[in-house]
Structures are given as structure tokens and as C-alpha cells.
Amino acid sequence: MKPSSSPSEGLLRGLSGTPDVDAEIHDRAVLRAMLTVEAALARAGADAGLVPAAAADEIARQCRAERYDPAALGAAAEAAGNPVVPLVRELTAALAESARPWVHHGATSQDVLDSALSLVVVRAAGPLLRHLTDAVDAAARLARTHRDTLMVARTLGQQAAPTTFGLKAAGWLVGLVEARTRLASARAALPAQLGGAVGTLATYGSAGPAVAERFAAHLGLAASPLPWHTRRQPLLDVAAALGGLLAASGKVALDVGLLAQTEVGEVTEGGAGRGGSSAMPHKRNPVDSVLVTAAARRGPGLVGTLFAAAGQEHERATGGWHAEWEPLLDLVHLAGGAAARTARMLTDLDVHPARMRANLDTTGGVLLAEAVAARLAPAVGRAVAHDLVRRAAARADFRQALLTDPDISAHLSEQDVDAALDPVGWLGSAGQLVDRALDLHRGAQP
């Protein structure tokens, strides 16, 4: 077996990420983004007439990631507390003498790393959102196909009343659509960071705001009205969106795992050769459900770290800023893997309507007790109807108990009882709700 070279490969990390997203957040991608920022900084200075154009061109030419070793920069970063300082030193050394004074002109390390991380998140969000769209589309197909497929709804872990698998899938769909909308919005709002040592843009004088705007434009990032060195709302919005995505995909994964239990058997994860056990030859485990659930359970801690780090001192933080870097990238990593696995899980999901109907019928109609009580209530009142139907539900044969109880049969005929025990008649607005979710998926008003 050859050594791993992919950022998504490895003994454990490949179980939580996905290659195309991880390719945008690994060390070399962060280094590439930092160099893109240094080049944009020089270009913005040249645009304002503060940096010689020839120097800006020379700096941009040397901002090539293959010239630098991320591992060596990481080792050297410990002395300064961040990797920008050794990178600037190496970049400066690579330049012609005339360009060296203009490297990193007017910026501080936080400007470079914050802007680079914004770039990294924006770039990684491209494939991440594509995976999420695949998951959205797969959920919509399930909702459409199974709009009227009967199944039992469960509350507090118990059978409750009839529903449809289409409505369950519609719930997944809306959750994923909402997560996609929030992430796309947070991504679009991620700003470049440029403030200089204490957020005054002192090196640029009165041209500071114009340089900052040109800098953001060169990077293709949003421009911030002020430096956000200790105002961390942009990253909090991204963290919340990524955490929401993990929660939405985790909800899908949890439901699929429960529905795939042997005793339930209403769905099965597809995919040939997946789900094997090292000990039990017969096992077919819901692997994607398991891995997405694991990612979803890690998300809140990472989101919490970013929110805890957001209270930062004065103009530049003492540790809070440093605490953000790895949790942010870990969130992107987990969200990418969860989105890709949710898309595969839903695309390949095998649905078993016959088993759904069998489970619905397991209680002999008892889960339609609410429907029976609703038919009886106009005659005897809601509270009395509730007590009478509960008494009948305690007997072995619910239907027979309803037909032979004189307090019930006086008001409900056999035809009335059978109509109440038909689950199709107790679905309420389920079909309409599925249609609303599908309208949302199509971009129409629900």
C-alpha cells in the first residue's frame, strides 16, 4: 500500500471528510491562500500609488506555493505564534532587493491569516455546497416518490399516529435547504481583513480605506466597513451555518439509522460492499448514517469554541484569535464529509413501503385512537371520548372493543369505526405539506 498523499486520506481523517472539500483546507491550500493575500496586498498598494508597480509585480511572481514548505513554516511559526511571520521572512528573501521593502506593506499578521482563512472557507464552500445540493435533490426525490407512502410516526420513541414517508423526507429536505441558504449567505459575506497593527491603517494614511477596498476586490471577498480584528461576527456566522448544516444532516442520519434497525427495517442504506462487520458476516451496517451522526456530534463543540473565543481584548486578541484557526477548519472538514455522505445516503436509500405498512398495522389500529376519539367527541364531549377510547385501547382487540362497548357503539356504527381506523383518513395535511416542501425546493413560494 502506497503512502497517503491526499488531504482526505489517512487512518481516521478520511472517515469524516471528503477529498474535494479537504483539498481546499489542508496546509498547502492555507499556504496558497496566504500567498494570494500577500500578492493582493501588494497589488492594492500599487493601485493606490503607495507601492511601486514593479515591486508589486515581483512580489506577486514570488507568491507561488510550490516555493515554500508548509511543514517548515509550521515549525518556524512557534517562535512568533503564527505562520505569517516566517512566511513573510521567506518571501522577502526570495525577492529582488528593490522589492523587499514593499512586502507585507501596511499589514499585520492577523490581516493575512484572517483574509487567507476567509479565502479558504469561500473556496471550500464551493464543493461543499455542491454536495449539499445533491443531498437536497435526493431528499426531494424521496419526498416526491413517497408523497403518499404510509408509515407510522413515532414520538418519544413510541408509535404515535400515521404519517407518510414523503412527509418525513420533506422535513429532511427543508432542513437541508435552510442549511444551504444560511451557509451560502455566510460565505458571501465573508470579508477581507486589513487594519494594520492596531486597526488604524496608519501606514496608508488617508488612503487606508481605499487600499482596503482594492485589497478585498483583488481577493474577491466582501469589503468590511472597518477592520474586524476583535469583532468576530463574520466567523461566528460561518460557524453557526456550518454547525446548522451538521445538525440538519445529523437529523437525516439519525432517522435513517433508526429506520434501518433490524426490528424496524423500513429503509436500508444502499451501496454494494458497504456496511460489513469484522466479526459478523451477516451484518449490513448503515455506515453513512453512523459517520454523519458522528460528525454531527462533534460539531457543537467546535462551534462552541469559536463562540467562546469571540470575546477578544481591545484592538488585538491574546489567544482568542489563535484559538479559532483549527476549529474553523475542522468544522469545514466535518461539514464537507457530512454533506457528501448525506447525499450518497439519500441517493442510494432503499425504501421498504411494505414493511412500513406492516409496522403501521402492528398495534391493530390502536395508534388510530386519536381519530376514533375525534369522531366520538361531538356526541359525548372530548374528555369523555378520550377516556372511553383509552379504555377500549387497553383491551386485546381494539376494534372489537370499540364495537362492543355500549357507550361507544351508541354513537359510532361499525362503518364509523372502520373509517376511523383507516390510516389514510388521519393524515391531515401531510400531502399538502410535502407539496409545499417541493415548491420550496423548486424555488417557488410554498
Average pLDDT over residues 129-144: 97
The one-character DSSP state at 156 is: T
* Average pLDDT for 254-274: 89
| Per-residue pLDDT tens digits for 38-79 | 999 999 999 999 999 999 999 999 999 999 999 999 999 999
- What architecture is domain 361-442? Orthogonal Bundle (1.10)
Average pLDDT over residues 305-332: 97
Q: What is the pLDDT of residue 12?
A: 83
Residue 1 has what pLDDT?
46
Alpha-carbon span 389 to 373, nearest angstrom: 6
Q: What is the mean pLDDT of residues 5-22?
A: 81
Note the pLDDT of residue 316. Answer: 96
**3-state secondary structure (DSSP) of residue 150:** strand
Nearest of 234, 232, 235 to residue 316 by alpha carbon: 232
Q: For residue 330, what are the contacts with CB-CB under 8 A and spacing of at least 6?
A: 298, 302
pLDDT above 60 (res 280): no
E-strand ranges in 246-327 read 267-268
Task: Give the pLDDT of residue 99.
Answer: 97
Alpha-carbon 46 to chain mean position: 39
Instruction: Place domain 13-357 in its CATH homologous superfamily.
Output: Fumarase/aspartase (Central domain) (1.20.200.10)
CB atoms within 10 A of CB 351: 17
- Smallest Cα–Cα separation from 105: which of 1, 239, 230, 205? 205
Catalytic positions: 277, 316
At 149-197, the pLDDT tens digits run 999 999 999 999 999 999 999 999 999 999 999 999 999 999 999 999 9
pLDDT higher than 60, residue 4: no
pTM equals 0.93
One-letter identity of residue 308: A
pLDDT band at 285 (very low <50, low <70, confident <90, very high): confident
Gap between the Cα atoms of 344 and 346, Å rounded:
6
Banded pLDDT at 272 (limits 50, 70, 90): low
Instruction: Quickly tell me which residue has 493601485 as its cell.
Output: 47
Q: Which of 116, 121, 91 is nearest to 105 (CA)?
A: 91
Share of the chain above pLDDT 90, in %: 91
Give the separation between CA 373 and CA 369, rounded to whole angstroms: 6
Domain limits of the chain? Answer: 13-357, 361-442
What digits encode the pLDDT tens for the residues 81-130? 999 999 999 999 999 999 999 999 999 999 999 999 999 999 999 999 99
pLDDT 10s digits, 223-232: 999 999 999 9
Split at pLDDT 50, 70, 90, the class of 202 is very high
Question: Residue 278: pLDDT above 80?
Answer: no
Contact 222, 216 (CB under 8 A): yes
Beta bridge partners of 350: 268
Phi–psi pair at 179, nearest 5 degrees: -65, -40
49-53, 279-283, 312-316, 396-400: lowest mean pLDDT where?
Answer: 279-283
State which amino acid sits at residue 364.
G
Q: How far is CA 343 from its chain centroid?
A: 12
Contact (Cβ atoms closer than 8 angstroms) between residue 239 and residue 330: no
Instruction: Tell me what the pLDDT averaged over the chain comes to.
Output: 94
Mean pLDDT computed over 314-322:
96
**What is the average pLDDT across 425-442?**
96
Residue 239 pLDDT greater than 50, yes or no = yes
Question: Over the stretch 340-383, which tens digit does the pLDDT of each residue have?
Answer: 999 999 999 999 999 999 999 999 999 999 999 999 999 999 99
